[in-house]
Amino acid sequence: MKKYTIILSIIIWSNVSFAQNTDSTYIDQNAQTEYTDADSMFTKANQLYNEGKYEDAVDIYEAILNAEKESSYLYYNLGNAYFKQNALAPAILNYERAYRLNPSDEDINHNLTIARSQIIDKFDELPEFFVITIFGKIKSLFAANTWGMIALWSFAVCLALVLLFLFAGKLFIRRLSFWIACVVLLLSISCKLIENNLRKYDKAIVFVPVLTAKTSPDDSGKDMFLLHEGTKVLIRDNFNEWTKIQLPNGEQGWVVSEAIEII
C-alpha cells in the first residue's frame, strides 16, 4: 500500500510541476473577419511584409499576439517589420522577446545585434561571476520550449526509474535505478529552472526618445542620468507609477513605468 501511495504522490506532483498554460481562444475581431486562425494570419502578414506593406503586416502580427499566441518566429518577424519602419524601440523589444524564447537562433542574434548598434546609450558592463557566464552559455543552447520538453521527458524517465526501484527484485537493479533516478531528477529540475529563467520578465526597453532617471519615485527626485530609445534595462522594483531600473554598469534610478516596455 505504501508503494502505491508513493506512486500516486509522484504522479500528482508531476502534473502540478509541469502543467502548461493553454492558449486563449480570443482572436482580434477585425482580423478574424478575414482570417480564420493564427497560421493563416501569420502567412498573410508575411506576404504583406514581402510586399513592403510593413504597417499592415504589423497590424496582423500584433493581432496574433493579442490572441495570446506567441513564438520566437512571430516576435522576430514583427521586429523586422518595425525595423523596416525605423521604429527602433519596438524592433528591439520584439527581437529581445524572440531571443528570450530562442536564444540559440542565429538570425535573431544577428538582427538584434544590428538593432542594438543603433542605440545611443553605451555602457561598460560590470564583470560577471564565472558561474553566471557559464549558465548564460548553457541556457543559450536551446529555446525555452526545448528546455521545458527536456525537463518533462527526463522527469518521465525519472518516474519510470522510481517504479523500477519499487518493483525490481534484484538489489543491484534497485540500487542502480535509484542513483540514476536521482541524476535524471536533478537534470529535470535544472532544465526547468533554465526554462523559467528564459521566461523571466525582469528586463525592459526604453520606449521614449529621452528618459530621465531620478533618485526617488516621484517628480521631486533629483535627476541621475538620461536614457534614450531602445536601451535595455533591468527591473529592480516598482512603486505606484514608477519603476526602479538598473543599467549594465550597475547604476540605478527610478523612471516612469509607462516610459518602458517589459520584454
Q: What is the band of 138 on the pLDDT scale with cuts at 50, 70, 90?
A: confident
Helix/strand/coil for 224: strand
Distance CA 15, CA 10 (A): 9
Alpha helices in 51-203 (DSSP H): 54-66, 72-84, 88-101, 106-116, 130-139, 144-167, 171-198
Please indicate whether residue 138 or residue 96 has the higher confidence score (pLDDT). Answer: 96
Average pLDDT of the chain to the nearest whole number: 85
Among residues 61, 119, 49, 110, the alpha carbon closest in space to that of 85 is found at: 49
**Tell me: the pLDDT tens digits for 217-259?**
999 999 999 999 999 999 999 999 999 999 999 999 999 999 9
Do 205 and 259 form a contact (C-beta atoms < 8 A)?
no
Global pTM exceeds 0.95? no
**Tell me: the pLDDT tens digits for 108-136?**
999 999 999 999 998 877 676 777 778 87
Is 195 exposed, middle or buried, given 0-12, 13-18 or 19+ CB atoms closer than 10 A?
A: buried
Helix/strand/coil for 37: coil
Distance CA 54, CA 41 (A): 14
**Tell me: the pLDDT tens digits for 88-99?**
999 999 999 999
What whole-number percentage of the chain has pLDDT above 70? 86
Torsion of CA 137, 139, 142, 146, to 10 degrees: 170
The pLDDT of residue 7? 41
Query: Residue with C-alpha cell 531600473?
Result: 245
